Copies of this chain bind each other. A is one copy, B any other.
Amino acid sequence: MNTAQTRNGIDLAQMTQTLETLDRDRDLTRFRFRARNRWITGGENRSTIRDFYGAGAEDQSRTEPFCYTNGEPPILLGHNEGANPVEYLLHALAGCVTTTTVLHATARGIHIDELSTELEGEIDLQGLLAMDPDVQAGYREIRIRMQISADCSDDELDDLIGFARDHSPVCSTICRPVPVTVERVKSAGSVAA
């Protein structure tokens, strides 16, 4: 439902104010996101997500952490305690491309009626299991099929979707090589919440 003050569920005055604030002081655009994870057993582990740094300060808006459980299906030696990590990655990608599409549609004055996606990617377990050094452990590619209806032309939709793909933070993290470092920390207290 859109009123004069919102478009696609986004408060237009708030959006304008946020963009102007970030544009005036580019130091405010740097965000630092975090997750803490604790192994339970086997393929089951749980993350808590709450604090992050952004717009020049630690965020205080979340009184309780979000908790998400990774699991594995029986064929991958688990008990379906939750989706598995490579499935959560698809959820993150779907959400990011969707939100980026909605954000830039809003900035362009486009009203979206419906937006849904279906994602699929292939993984060859020979990589994870080190059965073949020539096989990469991760996804070879990920395909997103998007259904979207909005009050604009097909050409405008295709331009919007391509733009969202190129400016989605999760998509950008997957499409580019992003360094991941793992540091083992010694006994000085647990790092997990």
Contact = CB atoms under 8 A, between A and B. Distances in A.
Interface residues of A, number: 133
As for how many copies of this chain the complex holds, the number is: 2
B138 A161 contact: no
Nearest to A6: B42
A20 B6 CA distance: 57
A85 interface: yes
A179 B165 CA distance: 11
Interface string A45-69: 1010100101100010110001010
Given A55-B75, A61-B73, A73-B61, A180 B142 contact: yes
- Chain A, interface SS category: mixed
Contact of A98 (B45, B66, B74, B167): B45
B35 A91 contact: yes
A32 B52 CA distance: 33
Contacts of A116: 36-39, 190-192
A147 interface: yes
Contacts of A102: 39, 42-43
A15 B54 CA distance: 44
Contacts of A38: 115-116
Given A32-B122, A95-B47, A131-B23, A161 B184 contact: yes
24 contacts: A10-B77, A15-B77, A30-B122, A34-B118, A38-B116, A42-B102, A43-B103, A85-B93, A85-B96, A89-B170, A128-B167, A130-B163, A137-B167, A138-B175, A138-B176, A141-B178, A141-B179, A142-B181, A147-B190, A147-B192, A164-B182, A174-B174, A175-B177, A176-B177
